Chains A and B, each alone.
Chain A
Amino acid sequence: MPKQDPVPLPYGSLQYYQAHYILKSESKENGSFLARCEPVTKGRFDGKRVVTVRWTGSGKFAETLQEDAKLTEMLKEVMLREGEISVDPLDVHIRIYGKWVHEDAFVFNQTMLEIADRIAGHIKARLRVLGDPP
């Protein structure tokens, strides 16, 4: 039987991964795209279902995402797995990501890519309106 270390090292890489969907944008308006999506659920355990999703964030961007009915339907499919989705703007790009996922469950999700692509489409459209396309 293998001998287990009674005092394991408290540092090092963990078995959790995260995929960041990145949109290049060097606009000064990047800061206005800060938003986070959280599910509104009903029921518990196996009966837990996502009823709707709630976007919170700065400015009008979160409202724009909340009004997109197709995006909401797509989010309802993945939010039980993803937990939450964040739109995180940095200086030269904008990142869209979910929660950390254990390596066993870290697989490509087509719906998640489409969601990120749709959010990025909203960002590009808004940048065009602001006269500062990416």
Chain B
Amino acid sequence: MWAAILLVAVEHTHHSSHTGSHEEEHGDAEPIVIKRGAAHEKLAQEMKKQGVDCEALPYGSHQLEREEAYYSHNFALSSRLVTNKGLIEIRGKNIDFVQVLQRN
């Protein structure tokens, strides 16, 4: 579940098993590229594009990610079952980190 998430690119191309006529039919087909990444890494990339000085930390590397609770529960209906999806360190702002959580 918590396996390191890597950027994966899957390219769909034609193989040599296809016949010649078949290749001609699909010769101009665009390759299908699927990129998958961790939620906090994608968010960090968007933030960098907007000019925010930040860095996505390795998953589970910071003490904040190992906290017992991510909410004080002073508010009614605070979520209890959540999953940490990564931490982003912010530099040059009053905010120190951005944490991504997923609801269970």
**Residues of chain A whose beta carbon lies under 8 Å from any beta carbon of chain B:** 11-14, 16-24, 34, 36, 86, 88-90, 93, 95-96, 100, 106-108, 110, 113, 116-118, 120-121, 123-124
Contacts and interface: CB of A to CB of B under 8 A. Distances in A.
B39 A17 contact: yes
A89 B72 contact: yes
B103 A108 contact: no
B46 A107 contact: yes
19 contacts: A13-B104, A14-B103, A14-B104, A16-B103, A17-B39, A17-B103, A18-B82, A18-B101, A20-B98, A34-B74, A88-B74, A88-B75, A88-B78, A89-B72, A90-B69, A100-B103, A108-B47, A113-B98, A123-B94
Interface of B: 39, 43, 46-47, 50, 52, 64, 67, 69-72, 74-75, 78-79, 82-83, 85, 93-104
Contacts, number: 95
A31 to B, nearest CB: 8
Contacts of A123: 94
Contacts of B71: 88, 90, 95
